[in-house]
Structure 1
Amino acid sequence: MTYKIDPDMLHSVAEQVVGLPLEGGELIAQTVERLAAVYPDLIDTGPGRWVGSKAGGILGKVRFLYFSPREYVVLFGSPTGTQGFSGRYKHVDIHKFLLAGQIDSYDLESDDTVPLPALLPGQRTCLERGHARGLTIHPGSWHLEYGRGAVVTTLPFAMVDTLLVSLELESVRRSTVEFSKLVSRRLRR
């Protein structure tokens, strides 16, 4: 299968923006601008709408940048920190590229009783298909996330917690609007 997004290029962009200030939105704006320079026909540079997201207990803000049946790119973070379950995706690899903050994690199935090495700004990690982790996302942490595989299979995990546990219909509505906007943008090309 061929994909349009190269994880190594996303990592390069993440490394370029590390250290830019969160205040005033420079870190996020520069990330989007640099991604759009690399992928001008894919990344949505329009005024981004942040959407509340709760999945696996992890509560944060997400901004959708690209979505197709086989790939997605989003920005995700939390000003105050959060923790929970990564999800277990049988058909998708989830790559994270940390822009600011710190993410601690541990493998749920291993015999290890110690956490994985902390993910620090400029570093990357990949949750491979079929694996699951416990996560702590520290306050002020923001990352670029790239999913590769049968993306539609991630949507139940991404939406069920928000919809059925939190009863947060507005976030589900906003997410649906953002997905629809990106899909219709792709269909127009």
Structure 2
Amino acid sequence: MKFDALNIGRIIVYITIIFSVLDRYVLPKFHVFDPKRLQEICKESIELYGDDSPNYNRTLLFNDLAERLQKEYPKYVTELKWDEWVFNNAGNAMGGMVLLHASISEYLIIFGTPVGTEGHTGIHMAHDYFTILSGQQTFYYAGDVEKRLFKPGDQNHMVRGDKAQYALNGFALELAQGCIPCMLPFGFLEAVTSTMDYQSFGRTVLITARHMGLNLLQGKL
């Protein structure tokens, strides 16, 4: 095939059509997580070990939450591995994250920081459900004149294609549903252009690939 401008244009159109069909009609059929059910499970753990509980302890909170999620989704949620926490820099915000699930159509992570961070959410081809576990998130869409505030147990649903500024001082359970590979450049770019944290970059790639591979083996896109 001669790669002139016309043929390149055709290839782009074909790829766009195929991707659009997959994104709209195929990937949603592989979603297994229910955002509302995740919020309910988060509230159960928060009640035991959250900020306002007599037994406040973030370590126990995360362990309890991961165990509950494993019972609810035994095929898809892995145990929380404390040695697999990695730094993540994206949209000028920095935090730590640990993967509980990653596949082509969904990811589930605990993300946050005890020191606070803020930045741009990015624009993604996925719905994002951010359930606060500890601390708080403040949120701002262009045109808002007051900040939006989310506290433990609250769930911030960001519709695909939206963009906002956010600040987070604490931790959240984050579910993304959509084209997950399309989100990866946003999560990886600053590691190779700014922070030079190639160790975190490499570990994130390996851990994510392991999760996606294991889910593909059981037929989960």
> When the two structures are superposed, what TM-score results if normalisation uses the length of structure 1?
0.91
Give the helix-richer structure, 1 or 2.
2
State the one-letter code of the partner of 2:117.
T
Question: Which residue number corresponds to residue 160 of structure 2?
Answer: 129
Write out per-residue CA displacement over residues 115-168 of structure 1, whole angstroms, 9 at most, x where no aligned residue. 12x100001011111111111112xx1100000011111001011012211111
Alignment match, 2:114: 79
1:69 and 1:103 mapped to 2: Cα distance?
27
The corresponding residue for 1:185 is: 214
Deviations 1:37-79, CA, capped at 9 Å, x for gaps: 1000000116341011010111110001101111110000101
* Identity fraction in percent: 24
Alignment size in residue pairs: 182
Amino acid corresponding to residue 9 of structure 1 in structure 2: R
Q: 1:114 aligns with which of 142, 146, 164?
A: 146
From the superposition, tell whether residues 119 and 46 of structure 1 become closer, same or farther in structure 2 (CA, over 3 Å): closer
Indicate whether 1:157 and 2:191 are aligned.
no
Aligned to 2:3: none
SS of the residue aligned with 1:185? helix
Inter-partner Cα distance in structure 1 for 2:183 and 2:57: 28
Q: Which residue is 2:92 aligned to? A: 57
Q: 1:128 to 1:44 in 2, by over 3 A?
A: same
2:217 matches 1:175: no
SS of 2:207 mapped into structure 1? helix
Q: Structure 1: 5+ residue runs without aligned partners?
A: none
Higher relative contact order (CA 8 A, sep 6+): 1
Moved over 2 A (4+): none
CA distance in 2, matches of 1:87, 1:10: 23
Q: Secondary structure at the match of 1:18?
A: helix
Equivalent position of 1:5 in the other structure: 33
Structure-2 separation of matches of 1:105 and 1:42: 30
Question: TM-score under structure 2 normalisation?
Answer: 0.79
Correspondence 1:15 to 2:43: yes
Query: Do structure 1's residue 103 and structure 2's residue 137 form an aligned pair?
Result: yes
Gaps of 5+ in 2: 1-27, 50-55
Which residue of the partner structure matches residue 147 of structure 1?
176
